Amino acid sequence: MFKSFSMELAGRTLTVDVGRVAAQANGAALMHYGETVVLSTATASEKPREGIDFFPLSVEYEEKLYAVGKIPGGFNKREGKASENAILTSRVIDRPMRPLFPKDYRNDVTLNNLVLSVDPDCSPELTAMLGSAIATAISDIPFDGPCATTQVGLVNGEFVFNPNAEQKSISDLQLTVASTSEKVIMIEAGANEVPEDKMIEAIFAAHELNQKVIEFINKIVAECGKQKHAYESCAIPEELFAAMKEIVTPQEMEEAVFTDVKQVREENIRIIRDKFNEAFAEKEEWLSLIDEALYQYQKKTVRKMILKDQKRPDGRAVDEIRKLSAEIDIIPRVHGSGMFTRGQTQICTITTLAPLSDAQRIDGLDEAEKSKRYMHHYNFPSYSVGETKPSRGPGRREIGHGALAEKALIPVLPSEEEFPYAIRTVSETFESNGSTSQASICASTLSLMAAGVPIKKPVAGISTGLVTGDTDDEYIVLTDIQGLEDFFGDMDFKVAGTHDGITAIQMDIKIHGLTRPIIEEAIRKTKEARTFILNEVLIPTIDKPREEVGKYAPKIVQIQVDPAKISEIIGQKGKTINKIIEETGVKIDITDDGKVSICGIDATGIERAKEIILAIVTDIEAGQVMTGKVVRIMQFGAFVELAPNKDGLIHISKLSKERVNKVEDVVNIGDVVTVKVIEVDKMGRINLSMRDLTE
C-alpha cells in the first residue's frame, strides 16, 4: 500500500514515498528533498554466503546525468564506471550503517541509491544517506537502526544545516554527521582550520537535529515496517573457543601478539594456527572456522590487554606516538618529494606542477562543469604489507584515502592568483602498519613545501583508536593506532590540521556509536599528537616552502590583457599563437576574462613570449624600447618583427652610430635585436632605431 510521509528539514520539505515503486525489494523509499529525487532500496539474499568470515554489504550510489538534463560525453553516450564522488558517497553511507547490522549476519545485502533528479540546493548525497537508512529500517533485514544524517556548514561564524549550493561555496566547514537515537556513529569533515571546540559544537548540533529525523523515521517504520526475518547465525561455537584455550593459553596468546614488529607477530600467529589445524584435523566442522576463531581469540586478548592492563601490543603508552622520521628530496628530477615514516608505516609523496589547463575536468551532477586544480592520489601496493597480488588500479579504499588527504590540504593551498599551477600529489605506500592516510598528509606537506608550493601552513594528521568495555564509561582512547589495534579495536578516528585548527576528519567505528566524552577526548588527543608531529618532525625537516619551484618544474608567468584582444593573440585559425609557441617553446593558456598563462622550463623563452604577447595587445608608441626578430633585409634597412603582424623598419642610417655601408654588416635575418621606436606615422608604419638606444 502506497503511503507518503513529510517533514520540514532545514527549511525544505523532505517527503518519503513507501510502497510506490520497487515493491520487490526488501525495503524501498522514494525520497524527495526539494526537487531532488533519489530511489533508495535495500535487498538481502535468502541464505548466507558460504565460506566467508565477514558481513557482505555492498553500497551503491548511482549518478545518472539525466538527473541534471545532460547526455553523457564521449562516444558511448552511456554512464560508465562510478565517479569518485559516487564512490565517496557510497563509503559515507556504508560507514555508519555497517556496524548496525548483526555481527554474525552473512547474508548478502545491497543498498542501492539511484539519483533521479537533482536540485542544486538539496544535496542528493544527503538524500541518499537518509534513503538508505529508511529503506533498511522498514525492510525485513535485521538492522539495529534507524540512523539519520545531517550536513553542517559554517557561514560567517554561524552553523547552517544541510547548506544549499551558495552556502556551500562560502562555508568554512563541510561536516557530515550520522547518529542513532543515542550516539554519534559517523563523522566526515573538511574544514578551513576550524578550532576543536567549534568542531565539537558543530558535531553535536548535527546530532541534535538527527534526533528529529529519527523520530520521523520511527513513525514511518511504525506504519510501514516489516517484521525482521530470522537468519542463520555464523557465530563461533563456545566449545571451539574452550578447546583452543586448552591448546594455547591466554598468557601464551598474549606473548604471541605482544611485539612491535608486525612480521614477528604474524609468524607467532602462523605457528599457533598450525597447532590448531593439527589438533582439530579430525573435526571437519571446526576446521573451516579456525581462522575466524583465531581472529576473535587474538581480538579478545588484545582488547583485554589494552582495556584492563593499559598494555599495548608494542609496549607503548596509550598516548605515545611511534618513532617518527621525515626526509625531502629523496627522488631526483621530480618537482618535489617528501617521505614520512611512523613506526612501520612509510609514505613517499611526489608533487607534480603543471599549467592550470591540466586541471581535472569533472562532468558530474552539477549545473556547470567543474574543474579540480589540486589532485591527491593515494596508492596501496600489496608489497607494503608483505603480500603478493597483481595491481588492479585504485579501489574504493585508495580513492577514499586520497580524497581525505586532498580535503586536509586544500585549505592551506595558495590561490590561483598567488600560484597559477595545477598541482598533483601522489602518495606511494612503501610500508603499512596503520593509518597510512594520515601519514600521506604529513608526507604531502613535506613534498609540497619542497616543490616550492607556497602553502600557508604545514598540515599533519594522526589517528586515534578506541577499546570499549561493558558500559559507556569503560573505555580507553589510543593515540596513533597500528594495524592490530585498528583491526581489533572499535574506532579509527582520523584528524588532520594545522597548529590553528582542523582541516579534515574521518571517523570509522565498529560499535553502535560514540558518546560525547569519547569524541572530545579523541579530538583533544589528535590535537596534541599533530602538534608534536609538526613541531618535532615536519617543521625541523623543512620550516617553510622554498622560494622558487625546482629546476625541472615548469615556470609560469601570468599577464592580464584586454579580453577584446584575445583574438589578436590567437590569430586566424590559431596561426599567431602557434607561431609564438613554436618560436619560444612555451605553452600558452588564455581564459575568457583575458588571463594569459605562459608556461615553460626556459625562463628566456617565457620572457620572449611575454614580450610578444604584450606587443600584440599594446599599441606601439614612440619612445618604447622593444625586442624583435629581423625578418627581412633591404638595401635601405632591416625589417624587424616586433609582434605577429607588427613589423618596423630600421633605416640603414639608424643601425649604428658609425657609418654602415651594408645592412648585413650589422644585422642578419633571424637576429633578435633590441630597438627603440622613433615614430609611428599616420599610416601606422613603425620606424625603429638601434643607434638611438644609448642616447
Contacts for 552 with CB less than 8 Å, ≥ 6 apart: 333, 334, 335, 601
Residue 492, marked binder: yes
DSSP run (H or E) holding 675: strand 672-680
Residue 692, marked binder: no
Q: Return d(Cα 692, Cα 695) in angstroms, integer.
A: 5
Q: Return d(Cα 444, Cα 413) in angstroms, integer.
A: 12
What's the distance, CA 122 to chain centroid? 22
Strand intervals (E) in 23-92? 27-33, 36-48, 57-63
Residues 46/107, Cβ–Cβ less than 8 Å? yes
Q: Return d(Cα 613, Cα 238) in angstroms, integer.
A: 80
Q: Return d(Cα 485, Cα 434) in angstroms, integer.
A: 8
Q: What Rg, from alpha-carbon coordinates, does the chain have?
A: 32
SS3 75: coil
DSSP code of residue 122: B
Residue 28 is placed in which grid cell? 524501498
Residues 357/405, Cβ–Cβ less than 8 Å? no
Residues 675/629, Cβ–Cβ less than 8 Å? no
| One-letter amino acid for residue 620 of the chain | I
Residue 620 is placed in which grid cell? 606601439
Q: Return d(Cα 602, Cα 554) in angstroms, integer.
A: 8
Residues 666/689, Cβ–Cβ less than 8 Å? no
DSSP code of residue 37: E
In sequence order, the β-bridge partners of residue 154 are: 159
Residues 412/457, Cβ–Cβ less than 8 Å? yes
Using H for helix, E for strand and C for coil, what is the string for 256-307? HHCCCCHHHHHHHHHHHHHHHHHHCCCCHHHHCCHHHHHHHHHHHHHHHHHH
| One-letter amino acid for residue 567 of the chain | S
Name the strands in the sheet holding 475-479, side by side, starting at the edge strand that comes first in the sequence.
158-161, 148-155, 173-179, 184-194, 502-509, 491-497, 460-468, 475-479
Q: Return d(Cα 24, Cα 7) in angstroms, integer.
A: 26
Measured in residues, the chain has a length of 695
Q: Return d(Cα 17, Cα 564) in angstroms, integer.
A: 54
Report the binding-site residues.
Answer: 486, 492
Report the binding-site residues for Mg(2+).
Answer: 486, 492
